[in-house]
Amino acid sequence: GAGVSQSPSNKVTEKGKDVELRCDPISGHTALYWYRQSLGQGLEFLIYFQGNSAPDKSGLPSDRFSAERTGGSVSTLTIQRTQQEDSAVYLCASSSKNGYEQYFGPGTRLTVT
């Protein structure tokens, strides 16, 4: 079946602009996660959604970052007033309700110039 998809694959933006990154999880998966991978670093948790529960936003680095998940499926990560330090690969993952395995998408490489 279809895996996790993310768009765009690559995004170049100017400092100060807003960007939106999209994640389409595996059909039927209730949990959705966003991670950030900076150059040469491991993955850093940003936010996760589980069903209709309030999202865990504990990993968001600043109030310029926000995310929503509409209809329990597609999620959008928004970064406002982008800074150069926001340049990274943003990875999305999903898992089933009682599953502990997370399935990752191919990521979006964000470059802020």
Partner 1 sequence: AQTVTQSQPEMSVQEAETVTLSCTYDTSESDYYLFWYKQPPSRQMILVIRQEAYKQQNATENRFSVNFQKAAKSFSLKISDSQLGDAAMYFCAYRSPTGTASKLTFGTGTRLQVTL
Contact positions vs partner 1 (CB under 8 A): 31, 33, 35, 41-45, 48, 50, 56, 59, 89, 91, 93, 95, 98-107, 109
What is the secondary structure of 52-66 as a DSSP string?
TSPPB-TT--STTEE
Phi, then psi, of 85 in degrees rounded to 5: -70, -10
Measured from the CB atom, is 50 or 73 closer to partner 1?
A: 50
Name the residue among 82, 89, 83 with its Cα closest to residue 108: 89
CB of 72 to partner 1, least distance (A): 16
Q: Closest distance between partner 1 and the C-beta of residue 81, in Å?
A: 26
Which CB sits closer to partner 1, 46 or 79?
46
Smallest gap from residue 68 Cβ to partner 1 (A): 18
